[in-house]
Structure 1
Amino acid sequence: MFEFIYLAVLIGIGGTALLDLWALLLKATLGLPTPPWHLVGRWFAGLPKGQLVRREGIGNVPAVNNELAIGWAGHYLVGIVFAAVLLVIWGVQWAHAPSFLPALVVGLVTVGAGWFILQPGMGVGVACNKAPNPPVARLQNVIGHVVFAIGMYGAALVVG
């Protein structure tokens, strides 16, 4: 059990960190904004109160204490959970001899978590349908999750 948790934490952090570096690269090269982790933190903070979906947009909800820290912590915790899912499905042995396909499958399937849980919760609608340019937002989501998959695979190569 310790090995499972250890690997899930390191692989999840590795994938999430690469995704964050990708966001910084997009900001530096294309001027794209980085994710609003304070707003994600505001959304996470509302979950214990049963506030899953925000039709009005999370930006219209009053700020909460430590929302930026909550957002970052939640972001990395979700990455760890996704890595744990990978290890549950393919086993801890995957981390000792990783192949890219399982990481890619998890990366692509987890796009759905953003499209059907986080984005409606943030008030952006299902699969970014309320975003200024939904097709571009969806493409960015898919590419971001492929980058996350690459990060999980790379982390497994290092720690496995």
Structure 2
Amino acid sequence: MKILLLTVFTGIGATLAMDAWSLLRKALFDLSAPRFDWVGRWLAHMPYGRFWHIHIADAAPIRGEQALGWSAHYLIGILFAGLLPLLAGPSWLDQPTLGPALIIGVATVAAPFLIMQPAMGAGLAARHTAHPWHACWQSLLNHTVFGLGLFVSAWIAKTLFG
């Protein structure tokens, strides 16, 4: 039960760190934030057999898509945090180290590059966007911040619940 509590806290904290980074980059550089309403729209179309879209913005809006997208964002963050005790061992939660957290954080960029962006019409690694390298770089930065957030959140969780 302790591993589950620490993992959930770590995943939520890391996802919050990623979201804080998105707000900061919007304020400092006027870069748009990720569209979790589009993630919700993509997921909401799946029960109807629609897994791939030419452009998700053109798909019919679904009631509750924003809440679904944000909920999925945090659930995915928790699931990715679960990779740390699974791959680095449960003891990682007792003594978090930066290396495994950064490796997991950076590795999670594969999900948008290989699954979400293609399925929502942006192409593999955002190649159908106006600036693919920029989009990829921003995704990589976001997921690196997620990795840093895994490390910091795990230390906070250890301190609070350890």
Q: TM-score normalised to the size of structure 2?
A: 0.94
Secondary structure of the equivalent of 2:33? coil
Deviation at 1:89, TM superposition (A): 0.7
Question: Aligned residue for 2:127?
Answer: 129
Counterparts of residues 93-104 of structure 1 (less than 5 Å): 93-104=91-102
Secondary structure of the equivalent of 1:152? helix
Question: Aligned residue for 1:80?
Answer: 78
Question: Aligned residue for 1:48?
Answer: 47
Establish whether residue 3 from structure 1 lines up as the match of residue 2 from structure 2.
yes
In 1: Cα distance, 2:90 partner to 2:153 partner: 13
Deviation at 1:122, TM superposition (A): 1.2
Deviation at 1:87, TM superposition (A): 1.6
Question: Aligned residue for 1:119?
Answer: 117
Identity rate of aligned residues, in percent? 37
In 1: Cα distance, 2:78 partner to 2:156 partner: 16
In 2: Cα distance, 1:142 partner to 1:96 partner: 27
How large is the RMSD of aligned CA atoms in angstroms?
1.0
Question: Aligned residue for 2:107?
Answer: 109
Question: Aligned residue for 2:29?
Answer: 30
**135 and 70 in structure 1: CA distance in 2 versus 1, 3 angstrom threshold:** same
Establish whether residue 14 from structure 1 lines up as the match of residue 10 from structure 2.
no
In 2: Cα distance, 1:112 partner to 1:119 partner: 10
- Once the two structures are superposed, residues 11-68 of structure 1 have per-residue CA deviations (whole angstroms, 9 ceiling, x without a partner) of 11011000000000011011111111111110111233343221x1111110101000
Query: Which amino acid counterpart does residue 24 of structure 1 have in structure 2?
Result: L
Worse-matched range after superposition: 16-25 or 88-97? 88-97
Deviation at 1:85, TM superposition (A): 1.2
Deviation at 1:95, TM superposition (A): 1.2
* Match 1:150 to one of 143, 148, 151: 148
Query: Which amino acid counterpart does residue 74 of structure 1 have in structure 2?
Result: A
Gapped regions of structure 1 (runs ≥ 5): none
Secondary structure of the equivalent of 2:34? coil
